Amino acid sequence: MPPHVPRPAAYRLVLLAVAATAASGVTAAEGEQAGPRTLFLIGDSTVKNGSGRGDGGLWGWGQVLQPHFDREQVIVENRALGGRSSRTYLTEGLWERTLEKIKPGDVVLMQFGHNDGGQMFASNRPRASIRGNGDETQDGVVEQTGKAETVHSYGWYLRKYIADAQAKGATPVVLSPVPRDRWKDGKLVRADGDYGRWAREAAEQAGAAFVDLNALVADRYDELGQEAVHAELFTPTDHTHTNRRGAEVNAECVAAGVRSLSDSPLRAALLPPPGQEYRFDFGAEQATDGFVAITNAQPYAADPGFGFEPGADVTLSGADGGQAASEEPFAFSVRLPEGNHLVRVTLGAAEGGSATRVEAELRRRLIDDVVTQGGDTATREFLVNTRTPALPHGRWVRLKEREKTSEVAAWDHKLTLRFAGERPSVKRLEVLPAADAPTLFLLGDSTVADQYKEPWASWGQKLPRLFDSTLAVANHAESGETLGGAWGAGRCDKVLHLLRPGDFVMAQFGHNDMKSKRPDALERYRRDLVKLVQAVRERGGQPILVTSMERKAGLDKDTLGEYPQTVRDVAAEMNAPLIDLHATSKQLYQDLDDRLDSAFQDGTHHTNFGAELLAALVADGVRQSAPDLAAHLSDAPPVRP
């Protein structure tokens, strides 16, 4: 077995000072447009393979670059096209169409070289440029078209793109071509003697920034080793095009290269690298080695990438090692890339007792009240997931308006932790990368989604505390959603893109689906369920189907029609784990008897109490039907009637 390709090595963040200003975004000064700038990518199939949707399991690094950037500042537009050389990207009119879209303040990343060899005028792929960076030309007739053409050097075409971009007020950045999976004497073959060198020379001659992507990627490949690179980053029969993991490694190197450009307008928009660690000492007069001392209630800002959220009076004290405390709930945010993160938090106050519970993002419960006496501390760990709306092929999850305003914490580029309870107090916080941790993805409607406002609650936001620190829960459910709507909005695609072998997807739809008047609504629902189960399995995940809990009126008669039974039927036909929440919720409502009202906020939605009860039923279903997932359940006591 080849060795497993690890996630990027951890980068330790050592911050010497806490800046008070936010990172600047794109302004309208000097002719630049307001709002996010566009990062145009031009190149070949190593930048964008096929349609850009992972056709045949092949991916270009440009397809997975967006998650490295704050989408409020930079939008990646991948205009690369497979099979093109520095010459044919120009002669086929692709550059002209791209140039029409470029505005002042935009950035153009260009990477060519893989297709610049071969035939110049003959054959069915006449795409070669003249080797080098000179100004020599060669005239000829392209046999395929019968048209005369003057061919220039590889470097000349790059200089042409640079000059055109600069004339439009954009910033060009030249990249040397990513290496192929070719090795000699145990080392990767590099392009520093030809296309890599010529790309550098062209950039220097034309006054453009240069990133030696060939060297950055080659260093990573050499570190991983030939066997692992061949087995895990490329397909068995292709030495040029990467699979998704290979594209991600290459994109990480692109981001690292951009980060190294001191005067690049892209630097401020880059999110922290995937392996970055944060460690904070609250109120400490002198921070522990490797930790950042937080000595005042500084508001969150993108630079330095952490701080307190507004709305609470937080006191930071240096007594007994220091702590941040308040008489009301308070929140602290950290700027993070998309993914799973291990959080280690030390709670407790120097004087007096405290009872602190921890929630993340939109009231996602992670830790129940941790009670400490004056001077005592308690440390807890949990996994938490953050996400963005970016999809890998230039698409976005179609967010509802409330997801851009009141629910924005679920989709922004930061982790927000909320400390609540009786005089909540936190002494120390560590946020560490956990890229290899398994994830439980949730899909569903408002009865599953993280509800941002008290007293509304769902079982999806109460479920995380019932799992231990070996699994992260990523709640992609949204209020008002149907299963078909989740497919159409890209929510299912987002989950499938993030899904790794060994992950779990739990789906509960029906409350909104059953309202459809279409004659084929139920059959469409069934087809979409089957499609989801198949897609999850194709990616190595485990699907778990959940029937919708009954409404408050469901004690007298079923209100969800044939939808719960359809879920049961699909689960049986496809041998998928089933949690029959429809049946167990009806029994729960009967057991509550005259306390039923305390579980409901209205006829469909639940209170904190009701959501906790339903989360306990879901955990029971996990134990009965999904043993692999059940292995991650914690010993936290569930709420019972």
DSSP tag of 479: T
Rounded to whole angstroms, the Cα distance separating 77 from 100 reads 13
Q: C-alpha angle 42/6/255, rounded to 5°?
A: 30
Q: 511 catalytic, yes or no?
A: no
* For residue 455, cis peptide bond before it (omega within 30 degrees of 0): yes
List all residues 6 or more positions away from 280 whose beta carbon is below 8 Å from its beta carbon. Answer: 291, 292, 293, 294, 306, 428, 429, 430
Q: 238 catalytic, yes or no?
A: yes
The neighbouring-strand residues paired with 377 are none
Q: C-alpha angle 323/329/334, rounded to 5°?
A: 65
How do strand 339-347 and strand 378-386 relate by DSSP bridges?
A: antiparallel
Catalytic residue among 194, 219, 222, 238: 238
Catalytic residue among 114, 152, 241, 476: 241
3-state secondary structure of 76: strand
Dihedrals φ, ψ of 637, to 5°?
-70, 125
Dihedrals φ, ψ of 211, to 5°?
-120, 120
- 76: its two tokens: 């990646």
DSSP tag of 321: G
Q: 241 catalytic, yes or no?
A: yes
How do strand 183-184 and strand 187-188 relate by DSSP bridges?
A: antiparallel
Rounded to whole angstroms, the Cα distance separating 61 from 253 reads 9
Rounded to whole angstroms, the Cα distance separating 468 from 472 reads 9
User: What is each CA distance from 86 to 95, 112, 154, 179, 451, in whole angstroms?
Assistant: 10, 6, 6, 17, 50
What would the DSSP string read from start to end of 390-448? Answer: B-TTS-B----GGGGTTTGGGTSSEEEEEEEEES-EEEEEEEEE-TTS-EEEEEESTTT
For the annotated catalytic residues, the residue numbers are 45, 238, 241
